[in-house]
Amino acid sequence: AFTAHRQEFLAHQAQTQAQLTELNAAVRNLTEVLHNLIETVRNLAEAFITYRQEFSSYQAQTNARFAELSAEVRALAEAQHQHYEAFIAHRQEFLQQRAETDRRFAELAEAQRRTEESLRRLSEAFEAHRQEFLEHRAETDRRFVELTEAQRRTEESLQRLSEAFATHRQEFLTYREETDRRFAELTEVQRRTEESLQRLSEAFVAHREETDRRFAELAEAQRRTEESLQRLSEAFVVHRRVVADDMSVLKKESLERRYRERAAAYFGGPDFHKVRALTFDELMEALRKALKARSITREEYEEARRVDGVIRGRRRQRSMHLALEVSWIIDRGDVERAVRRAEILRKALGETWPAVAGREITEGAREAIERLRREGWPIVVVQDGWVDWPSKPV
C-alpha cells in the first residue's frame, strides 16, 4: 500500500511539475500580453494559491500516512522479533526434549541389558537348582526304599505274630471241645452209676478247677499278647514319627546348606551385590562383641545364635545383612522368628532385614508378611529358589 501510495504521489508530483512547466511557459508566452491578461494572471495566481494550499494539505496528509506506515512497520518488525525469539526458545526446548529422549532410550537399552543379564543368571541358577533337586530326589527315593523295606519287615513280623495267635486260639478251641466231650462222658457215667457219682463229682470239680486255671492262664497269655501287639504298634508309630522328623530335619538342613553355599546365586543382583553367607564363627564373634559391649542381653544372644543363616552383602553403597529362617514349609512362626532375630542382629551387625526361605508357604505366613510390609518391615521371601524383595524402597 505504501509503494502504491508513493507511486501515486510521484505521478501526482510529476503531473504538478508538468503543470508548473506549462504554467511558466504560459506566463512567458503571456508576458507580451501582460496588460491584457493581468486579470487572467490574477485569477491564475489565486487558483495557484488555492492549489498550493490544497497541495500542502495533501502533503500533510501524506506525511501523516507515512508516519502511520512507519509505526505499522515498526510494529511488524517488533512482532517479527518476538516470533523469532519464540522460535529460538521452541527450538531450544525441542533440542532439550530430543536430548532427554536420547538419554531415556539409552537408559532403556541399559535396563534391557541388565534384564537379559538377570535372566541369564536366573537360568544358570535354575539349572544348578534342578541338578541339586535331582540329586536330592535320588537320595530321597533311596531312603524311601529303605523305609519301605523296614515297613515290609514290620508287616512280616506282625503277620507271624498274627499266625501264632491264630494257632494258639485253634489249640484252645480244640482243648475246649475235648473238655466238653469229656464233660458229656462224665454225665453219662453219672447216670449209669450212683456209686461213682461222688468220685466223679470230685474228679469233675478237680477237673473244673484245672480248666479254670488253664482258662486263666490262656487269658493271661492273651493279655500279654495284646500288650505286646500294643507296644509293637506304639513302637511303629514312634518309629514312623522319628523317620518323618528325620526327613524334616534332613530337608531343612539341605535347604539351609543350599542357601548358605549358593547365597550369591540366590540373593545377588544389581541392588544387592558382593553377597556371601557369614560363617558360624563370624556370627558368634559379632554376637560376643555385642554382648560384651552390652548392646544385647544374654537372652537376645541365645536367641540370635539360633538363626539359620546370615547373608551379608552391599546395597546402595552400604553393608547390609539378611537374618535367614529356613523351613521346608514356611509358617507364621518362621516369619515371627526372622523379624525377632533380625532386630537383635541389627544391634550387633548393623542394618539387618528379616528373610524366610522354603519350598512352600502357608496362608498364615503370607498374611503375616503382607502385614509386616505394610507396617514398614522390609522382609525378604525366598520360595522354591525365587527371591521376592520388598516392592517399595526402604
Cβ atoms 248, 329 nearer than 8 A: no
Q: Give pTM, 2 decimals.
A: 0.40
**Residue 307 burial by CB count (10 A; 0-12/13-18/19+): exposed, middle or buried?**
buried
| Closest to 176 (Cα-Cα) out of 214, 209, 223 | 214
pLDDT for 316 equals 82
Please give the average pLDDT of every successive group of 10 residues along the chain, which has 394 residues.
Answer: 91 91 87 79 78 82 82 81 80 83 81 81 80 80 77 78 78 80 77 74 76 80 74 58 55 74 80 88 93 93 92 89 92 94 92 92 93 90 85 52
pLDDT of residue 394: 43
Query: What is the predicted pLDDT for the residue at 86?
Result: 77
pLDDT, residue 21, reads 92
Q: What's residue 197's pLDDT?
A: 62
CA atoms within a 13 Å half-sphere pointing along the CA-CB vector of 247: 17
In order, the DSSP letters of 151-203 are HHHHHHHHHHHHHHHHHHHHHHHHHHHHHHHHHHHHHHHHHH-STTHHHHHHH
pLDDT of residue 321: 93
In the three-class reduction of DSSP (H, G, I as helix; E, B as strand; rest coil), residue 297 is classed as coil
